[in-house]
Amino acid sequence: MSRFWKIVLLVVAVLVVAFIGMRMLGGGKPKGEAGKPAAAAGRGGGEERNAGPVPVTVVEAARQDVPVYASALGTVAAMNTVTVSPQVGGQLISLNFKEGQEVKKGDLLAQIDPRTLQASYDEAAAAKRQNQAQLATARSNFQRSNSPEYRQYVAKTDLDTQRNQVAQYESAVAANEASMRAAQVQLQYTRVTAPISGIAGIRAVDAGNVVSAGTALVTLTQIHPIHVVFNLPERQLPDVRQAQQAGPVTIAALDRNDSHVLTDGGRLDVVDNQISSDSGTFRARAVFDNADNLLWPGQFVNVRMQLRTIAGGVVIPTQAVMRGPDGEYVYIVKPDNTVAMQTVKSGVEVGDSNVQITEGLKGGERVVSEGQFRLKPGSKVTALKPGETPAPPTDAELKAAAQQQGGGGRRGGGPR
């Protein structure tokens, strides 16, 4: 075979392989199917126009009393904290408490060996009795010498000496009595008692050790009642002062996650007399009875203080409020089951899931709380039954809603 025909056959083989490859990659798809995407694209606008009502969750804007709170992070502090120390030294004979035990004021906590101080007391008592005997003799001698029968036989200087001896022994007896009282006080100090009612901490020394005056034995903390100290921004000071003038200010203590109320029986005790120039905050202190021991010194809690109550405020779910380029808005369902966009202004949060509306709603309006991302003004909607929720929006719907509203979205958290 000549070289020419070899080249021709090679070209034909390449063309055949290329044709088969195109058929396998879709080149052989029927013509009717090839036109489907265009047809589907052409029907998109019509399907959107002819789509059925959008399922949404609808709630009624309610009127109710709205409590206004100030919130802050607080620290629990004991009402009183006392480090118990002996006032005299000696060997520690016993510790009469258990660590963590609740003790009452006056309970015996520790006993120090009293023998040395008891001996000092007995010595002072013996000296008093001795001086009292000498005083009695001196008085008898003076009275006899100063009597009418003997006065003429006693020199004046001797009479003065006897008088001075009486005064001397009287002073000695008084000094002995003072020594006895001092020894009695020191003897009482060997019984270390609780100066306050509270919880005993971990002991600092064991029985059997020799302690001196001032040695720390244990720390007592009073937790009934108990304090919570917290800081608030200075802009809230007028509201706090106004609330104080209106009556007792109630306070609740919540856990660190702000999800569970530990106790709600607190009241505002005192507001500090100055504002910190560094942080722009002022300190305040609440007091709780703490009968259930739910608050513990050093614990962090969230403080919620009620400042006032707004009567008849309009309240809707927080998630019903959307944000757009012109501010906050909601979708209102009209009588014909179409929606209209209503600009609103939100106020304080009500609980964990609702918000007060200060402008834009009067109460009684039907507001869309779920399913807003599929809506636009004039959209037809159908209200779901209680317990039903619309399907979550797709990424495309979220993107379209953001473009339509200029990058808006759901309302976030606001002031409580």
Q: What is the pLDDT of residues 185-199, one digit of tens each?
A: 999 999 999 999 999
Do the beta carbons of residue 221 and residue 81 sit within 8 Å? yes
pLDDT confidence of residue 6: 64
Residue 3 has pLDDT above 70, yes or no: no
Q: Judge if 304 and 353 occupy the same domain.
A: no
Provide the mean pLDDT of the chain: 85
pTM of the model: 0.66
Q: Judge if 184 and 238 occupy the same domain.
A: no
Residue 141 has pLDDT above 90, yes or no: no
Residue 78 has pLDDT above 70, yes or no: yes
Do the beta carbons of residue 214 and residue 121 sit within 8 Å? no
φ, ψ at 185 (rounded to 5°): -65, -45
Question: pLDDT of 371-400, one tens digit each?
Answer: 888 889 999 999 887 667 776 766 666 666
Q: What is the CATH number of the domain that holds 157?
A: 1.10.287
Q: Judge if 229 and 296 occupy the same domain.
A: yes
Q: Judge if 101 and 207 occupy the same domain.
A: yes
If pLDDT is split at 50, 70 and 90, which confidence band does 5 have? low
pLDDT confidence of residue 171: 94
Final residue of a structural domain among 254, 289, 308: 308
Q: Judge if 108 and 198 occupy the same domain.
A: yes
Residue 61: inside a domain: yes
Question: pLDDT of 338-367, one tens digit each?
Answer: 999 999 999 888 877 899 999 999 999 999
Q: Judge if 237 and 303 occupy the same domain.
A: yes
Q: Judge if 317 and 406 occupy the same domain.
A: yes
Residue 351: inside a domain: yes
Give the separation between CA 196 and CA 194, rounded to whole angstroms: 5
Residue 3: inside a domain: no
Do the beta carbons of residue 227 and residue 78 sit within 8 Å? yes
Question: pLDDT of 290-302, one tens digit each?
Answer: 999 999 999 999 9
Q: Which of 80, 93, 81 is nearest to 192 (CA)?
A: 93
> Which amino acid does the sequence have at 217?
L
If pLDDT is split at 50, 70 and 90, which confidence band does 45 have? very low
Provide the number of structural domains found in the chain. Answer: 4
Residue 43: inside a domain: no
If pLDDT is split at 50, 70 and 90, which confidence band does 49 have? very low
The 3 state secondary structure assigned to 179-210 is HHHHHHHHHHHCEEECCCCEEECCCCCCCCCE
Question: pLDDT of 109-132, one tens digit each?
Answer: 999 999 999 999 999 999 999 999
Question: pLDDT of 230-284, one tens digit each?
Answer: 999 999 999 999 999 999 999 999 998 888 999 998 999 999 999 999 999 999 9
Residue 46: inside a domain: no
Q: Judge if 144 and 235 occupy the same domain.
A: no
Residue 387 domain boundaries? 54-68+311-410
pLDDT confidence of residue 35: 40
What does the block give as tokens for 314? 């309009």
Q: What is the CATH number of the domain that holds 368?
A: 2.40.420.20
Residue 28: inside a domain: no
